[in-house]
Structure 1
Amino acid sequence: MTVLREDYKFSAAIDFGTTYCGVMYSSKTDFDDKNPLCIFADQNNKGDTSTSLQEPTTVLINPQRKLQSFGLEAEKEYGQLAAKKEHEDYYYYRRFKMTLHRHVELAEYTMLEDIRGKKFRAIEIFEMAIRCLKSRLLANIKKRGYFRVDESEIRWVITVPAIWSDAAKQYMREAACMAGIKDNQLLLAYEPEVASIFCKEISVDAKKNSFINALNPGQKFMVLDLGGGTVDVTLQQVMENGSLKQLKAPSGGEWGGVGIDDAFYSLMAKLIGKDIFEKFKKRHMFEWIEFQQNFEQKKRAISLGGDMMMPLPHNLIEIYKEESKGSLEDITKQTTWENKIIFHDGTNMEIKATILNDFFKRSIDSIIDHVTEIFQSPNASGVNTILLVGGFAESEIVHFKIKEAFKNKDVIVPNEAGSAVLKGAVIYGHNPMAISARVSPYTYGLHTRRPFNSKEDEERKKTTTKEGKDVVTNAFDKHIEIGETVYIAKELKMHNFYVIDTKNPEVYWNVYRSTEKNPRYCDENCERIGKLTIHLQGSGSGKRKELGVRMICRGTELQAEATDTDNKTSYRASFDFLKR
């Protein structure tokens, strides 16, 4: 079990988003002096004022398989290489974070395909991105006069979606460690949780623009974290000491802002033809990257009821003319798009508000349906406030539609909704106990052997040992129950196991999870997710040893500890959720 280092001088947060990422930090001195909002940002986006605290989650790797550049610089450099036809030996990755959510089985050797189908090891891509963000933040701290700051004096926080699997969280931690962040200096934070921590520190009544404390002790509220890739939903309650208690396990889905991009590019393929669009992307990479960047800027400015004028790449127009023998102006005539999509002078495409609203429809409908379902659960009783945070929450269309769907709730878009996660993560680094309790999304347990119980076990589960004892060999030993409220400072029950003291330095148990409250067998409605290893340093005596083992939830990651019940010796215990 990793114990967080207590002696630190700065809390530094990395918000590793699907579309954008950013870094911020604050000093322990300022936090201790009751200045939790004295937070500094690293601004390395070279003048891109649209996202002054963030830059694209884009990695460019050179032919020597080393990081070439990151962020906006990577997009510009790859575009320039493509314009000169010198990009073929480079690896270009954009918006790759969702890999960790989509892969059912994450492994050390999980590979990612770049924009041209070339493969690179995923964990190295994440490591390069984190290392770059880490070095930029360190440089920024020194620019502000802290010349003698040492890396050992920084506590790092990396944000992750609350719906991520145990494997995905471990993957991010291992990438961070590869990037030079030590285990005992790193916290992983759930994005909607830290956003709510930030909201407690600011005025959140956007309608009155007054400075009120909208999150008083006892109040229950929902946080909708609307990011680029995922939407996370949590229910929380403010406790008497100001900490936050989770009321329901986090949930959500892939309904973030990237869905608008997908809808737009799907429309482009339908308008001009999929083959033509694909040919343009492959032949003219420079213009394709510029087209993506242009749409990203236009998308962020889409207003309720407003239209959008989108310039078209020169070579896209030329390929269309060559392949179709027609003009762009004729595409929408006598179709459902007529008067809704208009081409001007063969170079610009005007998209009317009705079509733009359709771009948002799938994401917004999914969000509203999911939130409606949550409000029907007993856990949501007394929840009358919805906080919208994340970059996608700043969309005028998004927050209008959500407010319209939940007129009986107080829907609030806090000031700085887009940076709420990042700033909240900095505060969380100073005070991890700001979240006092979480609700388990699964029932967790260990695969073990136990005596057969004729009254409770099925006959087919019985195995007789050579000593003549009837046992169940694939029993589920429950440690945490789905829906259980796990208090961060409270120790869970110790479970005892017997092992033989051999010279083998390790013993392990397979770890399973289930959506049932009381599974009895690991082969029924359970899923193996990894293993728990106890590092014994055995003496080889051959004697039977009794170990006390328990799972611990002191942060967002599952941990464990093991103790010899006889002499109280503690042993290192570690989970591994990755496929090796």
Structure 2
Amino acid sequence: MRECAFNAGLINNRFSEKLQFTTEPEAAAVYCTNNTLKQHNLAEPETTFMIVDCGGGTVDLTTRKLLEDNTLGEITERSGDFCGSTFIDKEFIKLLKHKVGNEAVDLLIERHYGQLQHLIQEFCQNAKIPFNGDEPGFSYDLDLEESAPVLLQYVTGSVKDLMEEKEWMIEIDFNTIKSLFDPIVDRIIKMIRIQLDNSSKSEKCSAIFLVGGFSQSKYLQKRIKEVFIDLVGNISTPSQPDAAVVRGAAIYGKSLHQSKSLKSMNKFKCIIATRVLKYTFGTKVSPKWKEGDPPERRTSHGLIHKFRRIVERKTEVEIDQEIDVGQYAPIVPNQTKLSFDLYYTKEQDAVYYDEPGVEFLGEFLIDLPDVELGTKRICKLSISFGDMEIKANAINKTSGQNYQTKFKFNDF
């Protein structure tokens, strides 16, 4: 994203701190801290709340705690899945295929995508959005002849005869629309349950706030409240939930600006205090091969390449917290750069840098001036994982000079 912003001319310097990032559920949490918590009389230190950001493509969750200085700490690692509102549209397309045939719908998608989108919009306006799960008599008749007339020419055989008998009408009743919602809603409920289980080990969740466009679904709200109201006393949707992310991002950006401009006076802190890491990070080390190590991993120089953990998944880190990595020095006197590989995994640890589940993220490139000092340029490297971007700090142990450090992502 930073590379794209630079190429688009939004920033003049590729590493400019004027470009900052946050996640959608985190931005929503910032918005709810400044608005929704106060509305529900929950704006007290130690209050823990969950954000369920229900968008079109994904649903993302984060659980936060309001701290003494009105900043936010993260309780457990964020989670997300592809179960947003557009997946109900996909279930609708499956229903359509069941009614008129796979080939007919595939041809509609291939040759008349605009009419397919119109059909989906009709479904959303008349069935998906109004459905609340409280009216067993709910029914909507979809008129294919009116909404997608071009589809009719692709329907053949006995299916065509049956649809002509029905005058090209598809009835979407209560049970049908419920069957389209439930697989998606069940996945969201499962995610919330896991998030609650993970956070309840240390904190009790006081509120769940539903944000994002999909959160306006009355049926989604109803199902979540039915399942969790006995565990969480407050389950609600803020006003204009689809704008919560944008507004929260603006508040977050303002807090970053103020925290940097007032840093010397120590009057203001960034509103995000801590984050929980989703991955374990580490580097490649090459100790001497010893008896008991796999023979096939022994290099021609008698070494073995392994994974050395820097920080473990699920660790709560402060935004500006630097984790010591170690000391490095140039191998040859005229060396002008040091490189440091960074790997990540969803596991708590790993033995080898190339074992299944361990991925190469990229490398830090550290500029080494003062060539006249030769190999005596010992560099202390530390990495900050608390920000949305991974950053490194390299200091010359002898002179205290900060070396310029850049991160080069792996080209996937």
TM beyond 0.5: yes
C-alpha distance 302-177 of structure 1, shift in aligned 2 (>3 A) = farther
Instruction: Measure the CA separation in 2 of the matches of 1:431 and 1:215.
Output: 18
Instruction: Measure the CA separation in 2 of the matches of 1:280 and 1:465.
Output: 60
Instruction: Measure the CA separation in 1 of the matches of 2:389 and 2:142.
Output: 44
Alignment-derived partner of residue 416 in structure 1: 240
C-alpha distance 308-505 of structure 1, shift in aligned 2 (>3 A) = farther
Instruction: Measure the CA separation in 2 of the matches of 1:460 and 1:526.
Output: 22
In the alignment of these two chains, the number of paired residues is 384
Q: Of residues 308, 315, 320 in structure 1, which corresponds to 2:150?
A: 315
Are 2:335 and 1:511 equivalent residues in the alignment? no
Alignment-derived partner of residue 300 in structure 1: 129
C-alpha distance 545-528 of structure 1, shift in aligned 2 (>3 A) = farther
Instruction: Measure the CA separation in 2 of the matches of 1:392 and 1:519.
Output: 38
User: What is the 5 A alignment of 1:148-187?
Assistant: 172-182=1-11, 183-187=16-20
Are 2:69 and 1:232 equivalent residues in the alignment? no
Which secondary structure does the structure 2 equivalent of 1:562 belong to? strand
C-alpha distance 380-274 of structure 1, shift in aligned 2 (>3 A) = farther
Are 2:244 and 1:407 equivalent residues in the alignment? no
- TM-score, length-scaled by structure 1: 0.61
Q: Flag the structure with higher strand content.
A: 1
Report if the CA contact (8 A) 1:503-1:537 is conserved. Answer: no
Which secondary structure does the structure 2 equivalent of 1:431 belong to? helix
User: What is the 5 A alignment of 1:56-67?
Assistant: none
Which secondary structure does the structure 2 equivalent of 1:387 belong to? strand
User: What is the 5 A alignment of 1:401-550?
Assistant: 401-408=223-230, 409=232, 410-432=234-256, 433-450=270-287, 458=293, 460=295, 472-501=303-332, 505-524=336-355, 527-538=358-369, 543=375, 545-550=377-382
Alignment-derived partner of residue 579 in structure 1: 411
Are 2:116 and 1:274 equivalent residues in the alignment? no
C-alpha distance 308-188 of structure 1, shift in aligned 2 (>3 A) = farther
User: What is the 5 A alignment of 1:53-452?
Assistant: 172-182=1-11, 183-203=16-36, 211-298=39-126, 299-304=128-133, 305=135, 306-312=138-144, 313-320=148-155, 324-328=159-163, 330=165, 343=166, 345-346=167-168, 348-377=169-198, 378-379=200-201, 381-408=203-230, 409=232, 410-432=234-256, 433-450=270-287
C-alpha distance 521-359 of structure 1, shift in aligned 2 (>3 A) = same
C-alpha distance 531-290 of structure 1, shift in aligned 2 (>3 A) = same
Instruction: Measure the CA separation in 1 of the matches of 2:279 and 2:73.
Output: 18
Instruction: Measure the CA separation in 2 of the matches of 1:521 and 1:484.
Output: 21
Which secondary structure does the structure 2 equivalent of 1:543 belong to? helix
Which secondary structure does the structure 2 equivalent of 1:557 belong to? coil
The amino acid of 2:42's aligned partner reads A
Instruction: Measure the CA separation in 2 of the matches of 1:522 and 1:528.
Output: 8
Report if the CA contact (8 A) 1:226-1:389 is conserved. Answer: yes
C-alpha distance 380-388 of structure 1, shift in aligned 2 (>3 A) = farther
Report if the CA contact (8 A) 2:344-2:361 is conserved. Answer: no
Instruction: Measure the CA separation in 2 of the matches of 1:275 and 1:354.
Output: 26
> How far does residue 534 in structure 1 lie from its aligned partner after superposition?
1.9
What do residues 417-449 of structure 1 show as CA deviations (whole Å, max 9, x unaligned)?
Answer: 121111111111111411100111121011123
Instruction: Measure the CA separation in 2 of the matches of 1:227 and 1:295.
Output: 18
C-alpha distance 286-322 of structure 1, shift in aligned 2 (>3 A) = farther
Which secondary structure does the structure 1 equivalent of 2:352 belong to? coil
What do residues 111-152 of structure 1 show as CA deviations (whole Å, max 9, x unaligned)?
Answer: xxxxxxxxxxxxxxxxxxxxxxxxxxxxxxxxxxxxxxxxxx
Report if the CA contact (8 A) 1:236-1:246 is conserved. Answer: yes
The amino acid of 2:246's aligned partner reads L
Q: Of residues 374, 391, 397 in structure 2, which corresponds to 1:565?
A: 397
Report if the CA contact (8 A) 2:337-2:365 is conserved. Answer: yes
Q: Which moved more, 1:227-236 or 1:369-378?
A: 369-378
Structure 2: state its 5+ residue gaps: 257-269
> How far does residue 461 in structure 1 lie from its aligned partner after superposition?
8.9
Report if the CA contact (8 A) 1:437-1:488 is conserved. Answer: yes
Instruction: Measure the CA separation in 1 of the matches of 2:300 and 2:376.
Output: 18
The amino acid of 2:150's aligned partner reads N
Instruction: Measure the CA separation in 1 of the matches of 2:6 and 2:172.
Output: 46
Which secondary structure does the structure 1 equivalent of 2:239 belong to? coil
Report if the CA contact (8 A) 1:311-1:349 is conserved. Answer: yes
> How far does residue 416 in structure 1 lie from its aligned partner after superposition?
1.7
Which secondary structure does the structure 2 equivalent of 1:483 belong to? coil
C-alpha distance 237-218 of structure 1, shift in aligned 2 (>3 A) = same
Instruction: Measure the CA separation in 1 of the matches of 2:111 and 2:92.
Output: 20
The amino acid of 1:548's aligned partner reads K
Which secondary structure does the structure 2 equivalent of 1:259 belong to? helix
Instruction: Measure the CA separation in 1 of the matches of 2:9 and 2:123.
Output: 35
The amino acid of 2:149's aligned partner reads H
Cα RMSD after superposing both structures:
2.9
The amino acid of 2:26's aligned partner reads E
What do residues 71-117 of structure 1 show as CA deviations (whole Å, max 9, x unaligned)?
Answer: xxxxxxxxxxxxxxxxxxxxxxxxxxxxxxxxxxxxxxxxxxxxxxx
Report if the CA contact (8 A) 1:374-1:380 is conserved. Answer: no
Instruction: Measure the CA separation in 2 of the matches of 1:511 and 1:490.
Output: 18
Alignment-derived partner of residue 387 in structure 2: 555
C-alpha distance 226-564 of structure 1, shift in aligned 2 (>3 A) = same
Alignment-derived partner of residue 144 in structure 1: none
C-alpha distance 309-558 of structure 1, shift in aligned 2 (>3 A) = farther
Q: Flag the structure with higher helix content.
A: 2
> How far does residue 411 in structure 1 lie from its aligned partner after superposition?
1.4
